[in-house]
Amino acid sequence: MKLPSKVKIVDVGPRDGLQNEKSPVPADIKIGLVHRLQDAGLTEIEVTSFVSPKWVPQMADNAEVMAGIQRKPGVRYSVLTPNMKGFEAALASRPDEIVVFGAASEAFSQRNINCSIEESIERFAPVVEAAKANNIFVRGAISCAVGCPYEGEVAPERVELVARLMKQIGVQHIGVADTIGVGTPVKVQRAMEAALKHYGIDDISGHFHDTYGQALGNTLATLEMGVWQYDTSSAGLGGCPYAKGATGNVATEDVVYMLHGMGIETGIDLDKLIDAGKYISDFLQRKPNSRASTAILNKRAQ
């Protein structure tokens, strides 16, 4: 079994983690989180999304947040752009990368954006083209890659379809996302294999939610396939809107602790990462949703 010697982590806490928070998080707190993450050694940070503030009010300060970041050389700052309007708004904030997303579930696509999977990807074609014309890297995400809140289990063939369509419109990197955290190792491996039919191992990543406590197992199962890039969220920020009271994104701290314990390099300082997660958790007035963070903070307090 040959495991990767290094892993690249994309921290999605500032965007995916905070977007569902009911109370507004001020721009300066979001900027503070980004600064702490980059100081901890993260080189990929998903900062915000350029979506309608009507749908995601938490991200209404997107331009302010992007303008307030003290950019660090070697760090890539990405933003979510769901359509051409979002991309045009994002352009002024000089993102290094944009993220587009399509669901592997037909029901999810219809419920969320009122169109089929094929139609949803077609809408991204001009966004991808415009990004590339502006030398902006394009990352795609396949949401509901193993399960959907409306139609249950999602077949690997659906993942392959979305990967093929994303490849056709020029998306450079694809993330296989278990959006509701129902995946288990073998199911996640099958979804990953489906995406690997159209993308090389260096152009694919895992995005696993921990709703059922499976995210670390799913990470390990895909590491064994050679996958070496993952989306995670500091302090486990980000609830799962489809499973009441359930956790959402896997905590960056837990993934980093596991990887370091396996002798896999991440370039991340775990102590500084825990400080970043504590910073945002303190603001939100709750404990970090990370086992590793809890254990290390308890040790520090002794």
Q: Are 240 and 246 in contact (CB under 8 A)?
A: yes
**Closest alpha carbon to 169 in 131, 136, 126:** 126
Among 115, 144, 148, 240, the active-site one is 240
d(CA 48, CA 56): 11
The amino acid sitting at 168 is Q
Catalytic annotation present for 148: no
Which DSSP letter does residue 6 get?
B
Structure tokens at 148: 């959907």
The 3-state secondary structure of 237-277 reads CCECCCCCCCECECEHHHHHHHHHHCCCECCCCHHHHHHHH
SS (H, E, C) 14-74: HHHHCCCCCCCCCHHHHHHHHHHHHHCCCCEEEEEECCCCCCCHHHCCHHHHHHHCCCCCC
- Packing angle, helices 156-168 and 117-133, rounded to 10: 30
Closest CA to 101 of 179, 10, 187: 179
- What DSSP line would sit under 158-204, residue for residue? HHHHHHHHHHHTT--EEEEEETTS---HHHHHHHHHHHTTTS-GGGE
> Which amino acids are annotated catalytic?
240
